[in-house]
Homo-oligomer: A and B are copies of this chain.
Amino acid sequence: MSTSPTRPRNPRGEGGRLREQLVQAAAELLDELGDASRLSVRAIARRAGVSPTALYLHFPDREALVTATCDACFTAFNDALLAAASGDSDPRTRLEAMGLAYLAFTERQPALYAVIFSARRPPSDSPAVDRRQGFAGLVALLRECDPALGEDEAHARAIAVWSSLHGFAMLRAARPQIGWPSAEEFVRRTLAAHVPRGAG
């Protein structure tokens, strides 16, 4: 019972699939544990239906698997944001969609989200992970909303908006008993406070 007795081994030449299966299993555990330091090789292998040593066929050590997992999760988060913010609607609508996508992700996987932005696990320096695109996209969107905006002010507003969303997401997860407004209401209030509508 320590490993699933039914898992078929991958066909010849497809051994690489196990790598993705391990990352997937680790991501699931990460969302349950809420802390990368508690991810254990044995628990991941158990969930993937494989012996603990199988991990070493694809990663040099535990740390490499944990890093790959965090990178994959961050990329998934980033992609969700960028997808929501793209499209041909007006910039403010895209900004609102991005905020809602942000809060939707954090509500779906609160613990995973907390890991991604934890101070305990510094951002990956893997070239496969574009860490800046999200924040830079937010700054660009704010300048689209108000073309007269200076670079510094746009940066400051982006920080204000991002801090608000992050704080809302984390506190809502940590203190559910407090009466939290809906994501829609919070995003609307946040944008109203920090992104004044253009005259007209």
B-binding segment of A22-30, A31-39, A43-51, A71-79: A31-39
A171 to B155, CA, bound (A): 15
1/0 per residue, CB under 8 A from B, across A28-70: the answer is 0000001101100000000000000000000000000000000
Q: Is the CB of A171 within 8 A of B162?
A: yes
Main secondary structure of the interface of A (DSSP, over half): helix
Contact residues, A99-132 vs B (CB, 8 A)? 110-111, 114, 117-120, 123
One of B111, B120, B155, B164 near A163 (C-beta < 8 A) = B164
What count of chain A residues pass the 8 Å CB interface test? 39
Find chain B residues with CB under 8 A from A12 CB: none
Contact residues, A167-182 vs B (CB, 8 A)? 167-168, 170-171, 173-175, 178-181
Task: Please give the count of copies of this chain that the complex contains.
Answer: 2
- A166 beta carbon closer than 8 Å to chain B: yes
Contact residues, A148-200 vs B (CB, 8 A)? 155-156, 159-160, 162-168, 170-171, 173-175, 178-181, 185-186, 189-190, 193-194
Which positions in A face B, CB cutoff 8 Å?
34-35, 37-38, 110-111, 114, 117-120, 123, 135, 155-156, 159-160, 162-168, 170-171, 173-175, 178-181, 185-186, 189-190, 193-194
